[in-house]
Chains A and B, each alone.
Chain A
Amino acid sequence: MKPAFLTRLGARRQSHLLILWILVIVWPLITPNAYWVSMGSAFFINLLLIASLNLLVGLTGLTSLAHAAFWGLGAYTSGMLAVHAGVTPWLGTLGAMGISALFSIVIGWPTLRLSGHYLAMATLGFNAIFSVLLTGLVSWTGGPNGLIGIPAYTLGGLDVSSPTAIFVAYWLVTGLILLSLSFLGNSRAGRALRVIHSSDTAAACMGIPVLRYKLGVFVLANTIAALAGALYAHQNQFVSPDVFSFSTSILLLVMVAIGGFGRYWGPFFGALIFTALPELTRSLHDSELLIFGIAMIVVVGFMPAGIAGGLANLKSRLSLRRPSA
């Protein structure tokens, strides 16, 4: 039986998400050109990546440094299926998610038993090996030059490759996944994951099958990352191996931290910064890493709840002050 306050909290969160999502759809109407519209699609992809990583790191406490690898696995699987075997992008996307789930089980089964740091380094190792394979297996992946000629999505006879059509499609997919994640956070499984975050032992004592839950959330998060990868590949119609290196995994973790670990709204801020900052710093050459580094130190050191947590604190402080005023 779910406590009433959790149901209320969930309903409020879902209605906020709905309002936000309706507001977001006007983006193609108010932006000046196609470039800005495709920036919106890039934001959705980053949001999927950061939200799924937040599910792992923030909610369950599993530090994965292989998120870029699973993103790349999705992008390359769907891309290679389309380029080498002529598979339609829709099937390719499903295939990408399947392959990613399979790899998650193979990687997760032995490594999820390891605690904290060891898991981080094992996943980092996987990502490094993945990067080397991407540049090494030239006949499959195109090597350092990347994989070219990936087709866009098509819907019947309809062309879905215009930036606005892509935006609407990705808007729908991302919205549905975020909605599902909001249900997961308040469900029995979501609460079990939170317990695992506080203590494996406590969770096991409460009868939660710890390893099975960890494996489940690992598969789920990596499948979402692979979906984001397929969306990325068919939007850009080109993938390059250096996008999926472990530096990207580390940057994604930085974004989760800046947004706020385990906060539902955290990834929205993280994805916003991750998408917008490279654009804003284009005039100040190459200084984005500097800003990311400083932001990481400041947020983790002095604002551990991230932007989302900081805003929540501010809100509760204001609402506490109001009655006395």
Chain B
Amino acid sequence: MDSNTLQIIFSGLGTGSIYALIAVGFNVIFKSTGALNFVQGEWVMMGGILAAFCFNDINMPVWQACLIAGVAVALIGGLTERFLVRPLVNQTPFALTLVTVGIALLSKSLVMLSLGKNPVGYPGLSTTTSTHILGASVATQTLWILGITLTLMALTHVFFSYTRWGCAMRAAAANPRAAALVGIRHSRVVFSAFVLAAAMGGLAGTIITPLTLMSYDAGAMLGFKGFSAAMLGGLGSLFGAMAGGLILGLLESLVSGFVTSQFKDALAFLVLLLVLVLRPQGLLGKPEVVKL
């Protein structure tokens, strides 16, 4: 394998990790509410923009800016659930999905009105911009992205498999009424899902921004690509999200590296359409889509 191919593979794994993080956020909220969360991508955007604000305007070190932005976005996710989602009279998944559309428009325009329209960025977590691996020059930030994503995925897995809280959330996702009977409050489960998904999205935004810059309108595209990744792996499955994200990222960078980069943004959606038509349960999911 020559160094050029290796370079393309690394950059694909980097963006793929971001898609995977977004996909996990989608899955967590989908599992607990049954709704598709259109705000997911906006949280990614907010993470990047808030970190840039902390770095450029408050002069924080990069790692601190990223951490604070992640916590802030998690907080925003929690507040969104508490004050915009919980009071709703109409709690059907369809209505929730529509409300998240409204919240997404709201978040986007609030960020635009308060922090401006210009794309922002900041340097990566390390001072050296690239390292050499097997002759290929790889952006150091990509390695950070891979490491942080793997850590977050492992933590999420531990959370859902081994902690009391995680098990409660899984129980509520499997059967809300039975879970309520054994004392799991559904509203708290939904609240935790929003905080967790927002934290995932926000952190994904903070670590991708040094490579791609971030602007107020970048959220929707990132969110939908993350959703495609979630569909590809199988909606609701943690490993599916990881696999789907990485496959999608690799596909994108391989196609734009070797074929053409002109239609790069269409590829994720082509994959989405193919998956929906051929295998709606995704690569790793169980069939649950109702077909006529």
Contact = CB atoms under 8 A, between A and B. Distances in A.
Interface residues of A, number: 44
B276 A122 contact: yes
Interface string A87-129: 0000000000000000000000011011111101110111011
Interface in B237-292: 262-263, 265-266, 268-270, 272-273, 276-277, 280, 289-292
Contact of B220 (A110, A116, A247, A296): A247
A305 to B, nearest CB: 10
Interface residues of B, number: 47
Interface stretch (B108-116, B168-176, B206-214): B108-116
B187 to A, nearest CB: 16
Interface stretch (A43-51, A228-236, A282-290): A282-290
Given A118-B289, A254-B101, A297-B84, A128 B266 contact: yes
Judged by DSSP, the binding face of A is helix
Nearest to B105: A293
B102 A296 contact: yes
A211 B272 CA distance: 22
B232 to A, nearest CB: 12
Contact of B277 (A111, A128, A253): A111
B181 interface: no
Given A115-B290, A118-B289, A120-B36, A297 B102 contact: yes
B158 interface: no
Given A128-B266, A246-B220, A254-B105, A286 B273 contact: no
17 contacts: A111-B277, A113-B292, A118-B280, A118-B289, A126-B273, A128-B265, A128-B269, A129-B269, A133-B266, A289-B108, A289-B112, A290-B110, A292-B105, A296-B101, A297-B103, A300-B90, A300-B98
A243 B34 CA distance: 31
B220 A254 contact: no
B228 interface: yes
A80 interface: no
Interface string A290-325: 101111110011101000000000000000000000
A121 B36 contact: yes
A125 B269 contact: yes
A82 interface: no
A254 B102 contact: yes
Q: Which 9 A-B pairs have the closest CB atoms?
A: A296-B102, A293-B105, A293-B106, A125-B269, A289-B109, A132-B266, A297-B102, A290-B109, A110-B277
Nearest to A284: B113
Given A122-B276, A286-B113, A117 B97 contact: yes
Given A113-B292, A115-B289, A122-B273, A304 B101 contact: no
Contacts of B110: 290
A52 B99 CA distance: 22
Contacts of A290: 105-106, 109-110, 113
A301 B292 CA distance: 30
Contacts of B84: 297, 301
Interface string A233-248: 0000000000000110
B290 A301 contact: no
B188 to A, nearest CB: 20
Interface string B150-193: 00000000000000000000000000000000000000000000
A88 B88 CA distance: 52
B106 A122 contact: no
B224 interface: yes
A316 B112 CA distance: 42
B133 interface: no
Contacts of A63: 94
B265 A132 contact: yes
Given A121-B231, A124-B224, A136 B113 contact: no
Nearest to A63: B94
B106 A253 contact: no
Contacts of A122: 272-273, 276-277
Contact of A114 (B89, B113, B276): B276
Contacts of A128: 221, 224, 265-266, 268-269
Given A121-B36, A304-B90, A111 B276 contact: yes
Contacts of B102: 254, 292-297, 300
Contact of B101 (A110, A118, A250): A250
B104 interface: yes
A114 B99 contact: no
A95 B105 CA distance: 35
B79 interface: no
Interface string B102-142: 11111111101100000000000000000000000000000
B105 A289 contact: yes
Given A118-B289, A246-B224, 4 more contacts: A132-B265, A250-B38, A289-B106, A304-B90
Contacts of B272: 121-122, 125
A210 interface: yes
B235 to A, nearest CB: 9
A58 B113 CA distance: 33
Contacts of A211: 292
A63 B97 CA distance: 11
Contacts of B270: 125, 129
